[in-house]
Amino acid sequence: MIAISQDINVKGKVIDENGNPLPGVTIKIKNTKNGTISDGNGEFSLKNVPEDAILSAFYVGYTAVEIKVSSVITIKMIQEPGLLDDVVVVGYGTQKKVNLTGAIASVDGKALESRPITNIGQGLQGLIPNLNITVGNGKPGSGSEFNIRGITSINGGTPLILVDGVQMDPNLINPNNVENVTVLKDASASAIYGVRAAYGVVLITTKKGKKKHPGTSYLFIRLYTNPANQVTTNHELG
């Protein structure tokens, strides 16, 4: 007597280890391209499935499950330890921030060294197009104000200013410590830095220490005695 495999209709539900429904789980008949995806309630259905088939369930962050087919199935997915810890989503990944927006201008800190200035705002005047600097009136505590592409809102519009990635007042920086200044001039910078960057971003990078071999200076003194018993000295700096 030859046994003939029959096709059946399968209804099932996918749950997690806490019994909560899992939507978006892929359920496929093993070794075939036939399958479906669980709905918002974690439920799914398959028609004309061989009664001896094996179902495979896949979901990101969970261990794949294989289960023998039956008319009604409950598939329990177990979260895979450590997998989600390896997935990190960031706004700008490992790329440089200054490469992710359209309108960009940059100036090297060497351009500030030749200017007789007391703050960075004075030094940046005229160096970067569309970066408007309003110098203070000279009163104690007053500094330069920054604006990119003019006043575009009735509420004003000051750019986000970051010094080594930290928001702070640029007037507090010694211009001699500036390595470079980069200005992101369009609103697309808000995709990286949020709504505070809607009026542009000024990125200021300060100088870092450099690797060099330590040096030593010494003073060598020679004493000479002449026949007249007078002592003279000769200084050498090494």
144-162 pLDDT per residue, tens: 888 887 776 666 678 888 8
Does residue 115 belong to any structural domain of this protein?
yes
pLDDT at 227: 57
> Which of 151, 136, 131 has its CA nearest to residue 204?
131
Q: Residue 59's domain spans which residues? A: 7-76
Is 217 inside a domain boundary? no
**Number of neighbouring beta carbons within 10 Å of residue 151:** 12
What does the pLDDT profile of the chain (238 residues) look like in tens digits? 455 567 888 899 999 888 888 888 898 988 888 888 988 888 999 888 888 888 898 887 788 889 898 888 899 988 876 554 444 434 444 445 444 545 677 888 888 877 777 788 888 888 888 888 887 766 666 778 888 877 766 666 788 888 888 888 888 888 888 888 888 887 777 777 777 788 888 888 888 877 766 666 666 666 555 555 554 555 555 5
Strand intervals (E) in 16-59: 26-29, 35-37, 43-50, 54-58
**Residue 238 domain-assigned (yes or no):** no
- On whether residue 201 sits in a domain, the answer given is yes
Assess contact for 173 and 204: CB atoms under 8 A.
yes
Q: What is the pLDDT of residue 168?
A: 86
CATH of the domain at 63: 2.60.40.1120
